[in-house]
Structure 1
């Protein structure tokens, strides 16, 4: 398989310093776009949206902690063992996170957000406006353990 090289479009500034689960909606942070490569025009019209999808890297994960086998989410033995692609944990093969968050404001190259579950310093690989039409079509389903896990996440 060929490798892919990505250059961050920016970094998360502020918010949490550590990836502690739950209560992410209380967090406010800034996505600071890299002004050496990108100009303010890259954000033109973004402030017309209420929410964003942000792709970022779990940059502080120790590579020896990457999980490829089934495990209990959050090490909770009451939940079934599931593979890393059946959960959203940070110890994943490519260390990529995807988060939906509220857009608070755009000021120059700074995107102010709330509820972004990335930590201070996280490299941001992409920012996309959330559009309802890109949401799931039809009914969605998930196991009860996932609903329980997410109960206090935001």
Structure 2
């Protein structure tokens, strides 16, 4: 068994672009006591419906344009981005109530999709609507305007689909609530 050392590896990430989105404030805010939902619970379904219908622009920096060659052949892409509005002091949260809901059990950060994490790298699988030069249009990306893009990958069911997927009861409950119309 490996033991943790005091030496930390320093990583350097270079943004490849920036998200342009009508979303200007995050849905969740990380505070000292955990996560706070910035939307009323009765409006969450409406918020998620609006996000699904939203088309965002991914502005890829010109120096990376050649890396986009062939991306148009994919219907969906994975967007890895940095939630830049999360206070770095809040990245030390260890446990949260998912979605800031105290009716859901307290979970370790790695068991949630919370943006408040030691390395706040977020990932979303989204439909690729189109490409114009260094600009990608995608649907349903829940990223705040100005979020730095860390990477883009093609979505391939052969590599990313899993069999016998299992999620805890609280996550299944959240999915059911969001899907109920």
Of structures 1 and 2, the one with the larger relative CO (CA 8 A, separation 6+) is 1
Q: Which residue of 2 aligns with 1:131?
A: 156
> Could you tell me the TM-score, scaled by structure 1's length?
0.90
Q: Please list the CA deviations of residues 60-109 of structure 1 after superposition, one character each: whole Å capped at 9, or x if unmatched.
A: 11122224322211222221111000000111111111111110001100
Distance 2:92 2:98 in 1: 11
What SS does the aligned partner of 1:66 have? helix
Contact 1:16 1:27 in 2 (8 A): no
- Structure 1 stretches (4+) deviating beyond 6 angstroms? none
Q: Mean Cα displacement is larger for which, 128-137 or 101-110?
A: 128-137
Residues 52-63 of structure 1 aligned to structure 2 (within 5 Å): 52-63=77-88
Q: Which of 128, 134, 143 is the equivalent residue of 1:109?
A: 134
Distance 2:71 2:133 in 1: 11
Matched residues, number: 151
Match of 2:60 among 9, 33, 43: 33
Larger Rg: 2
Gaps of 5+ in 2: 1-7, 28-43
Range with greater deviation from structure 2 (129-138 or 77-86)? 129-138
Q: For 1:1-154, what aligned pairs fall within 5 Å after superposition?
A: 1-20=8-27, 22-23=47-48, 24-35=51-62, 37-39=63-65, 41-150=66-175, 151-152=177-178
Deviates more, 1:114-123 or 1:11-20: 11-20
Q: What stretches of structure 1 of length at least 5 have no aligned partner?
A: none
Q: Structure 2 length normalisation: TM-score?
A: 0.77
State the alpha-carbon separation in 2 of the partners of residues 74 and 131 from structure 1: 28
Note the C-alpha offset of 1:59: 0.3
- Is the 1:67–1:84 contact (alpha carbons within 8 Å) kept by the matching residues of 2? no
For the aligned residue pairs, the C-alpha RMSD in angstroms reads 1.6
